[in-house]
């Protein structure tokens, strides 16, 4: 029984073994697909950020750029394991499977379910030296509108944030709420990224101001 005032423990939905078995070929195709894509990296962090690159960081990108996030992390930050925040719903169970194909481990939760538990888990993950991935426009949008909850872990852990966006060439844009972008196999993608330390993001800003700063920076980096 949970204590008064504490969020009750909830168990997130999981994919069953039968579903995982039938999805396995899709996962293999996805890994081959992403491995075929040529990624050109553009780092605008500056020359004084070598220390930030070595630290655990929060990888932050818009939801519609997720397709390549795991592959990019595997190539660039190969010495770190990345954890992603995923909804505790049934839809989130499918997304957890997708994250697994991409090499990203899942922390399950959202504003509506397991929110406080998920934040605590993300903080523990970062303090163990791992990266975490966050989409500031969440799992439901609106598209390109950052929410303050995305910065809670950064404020608690005082870790750097790695802002990331992809500029796609030959690609397909889905008719989803976020206009999710899928690059075609063997296409070229430009990855724009920038490391910023905790003080660069917060400094004299409160949480809302830091959220607005984050939204403006990611919007500036994103080319549709």
Q: Compute the distance between CA of residue 143 and CA of residue 139 in angstroms, rounded to an integer.
A: 9
8 vs 117, more confident: 117
CA angle centred on 134, ends 18 and 222, rounded to 5°? 115
Q: Residue 12 pLDDT > 60, yes or no?
A: no
Say what the pLDDT of residue 18 is. Answer: 67
**Parallel, antiparallel or unpaired: strands 171-173 and 181-183:** antiparallel
Q: Residue 17 pLDDT > 80, yes or no?
A: no
SS3 91: helix
At residue 18, φ and ψ (nearest 5 deg) are -65, -45
Q: Distances in Å between the alpha carbon of 171 and those of 102, 166, 196, 200, 203? A: 19, 11, 29, 34, 38
Q: Residue 184 pLDDT > 70, yes or no?
A: yes
Average pLDDT over residues 118-133: 90
Length of the chain: 224
Q: What is the pTM of this model?
A: 0.85
59 vs 5, more confident: 59
Q: Compute the distance between CA of residue 57 and CA of residue 215 in angstroms, rounded to an integer.
A: 18
CB 71 within 8 A of CB 59: no
Residue 30: cis peptide before it, omega within 30 degrees of 0: no
Say what the pLDDT of residue 14 is. Answer: 61
Return the percentage of the chain with pLDDT > 90, whole number.
62
54-92 confidence digits (pLDDT tens): 999 999 999 999 999 999 999 999 999 999 877 666 656
Say what the pLDDT of residue 3 is. Answer: 46
Say what the pLDDT of residue 21 is. Answer: 67
Q: Name residue 105's beta-bridge partners.
A: 83
CB 66 within 8 A of CB 143: no
88-121 confidence digits (pLDDT tens): 666 566 777 777 888 888 886 655 555 677 788 8
CB 131 within 8 A of CB 77: yes
CB 210 within 8 A of CB 65: no
Average pLDDT over residues 165-186: 96
Q: Residue 166 pLDDT > 80, yes or no?
A: yes
């Amino acid at each position: 029984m949970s204590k008064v005032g504490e969020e009750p423990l909830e168990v997130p939905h999981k994919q069953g073994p039968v579903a995982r078995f039938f999805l396995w070929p899709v996962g293999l195709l996805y890994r081959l697909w992403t491995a075929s894509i040529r990624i050109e990296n553009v780092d605008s962090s500056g020359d004084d950020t070598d220390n930030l690159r070595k630290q655990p960081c929060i990888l932050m990108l818009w939801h519609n750029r997720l397709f390549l996030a795991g592959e990019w992390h595997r190539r660039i930050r190969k010495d770190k394991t990345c954890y992603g925040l995923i909804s505790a719903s049934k839809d989130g169970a499918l997304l957890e499977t997708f994250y697994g194909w991409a090499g990203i481990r899942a922390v399950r939760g959202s504003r509506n379910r397991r929110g406080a538990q998920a934040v605590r888990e993300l903080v523990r993950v970062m303090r163990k030296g791992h990266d975490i991935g966050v989409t500031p426009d969440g799992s439901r949008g609106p598209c390109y509108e950052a929410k303050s909850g995305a910065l809670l872990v950064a404020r608690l852990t005082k870790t750097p944030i790695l802002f990331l966006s992809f500029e796609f060439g030959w690609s397909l844009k889905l008719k989803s709420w976020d206009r999710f972008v899928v690059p075609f196999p063997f296409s070229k993608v430009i990855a724009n990224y920038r490391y910023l330390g905790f003080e660069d993001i917060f400094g004299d800003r409160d949480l809302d101001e830091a959220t607005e700063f984050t939204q403006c920076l990611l919007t500036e980096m994103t080319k549709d």
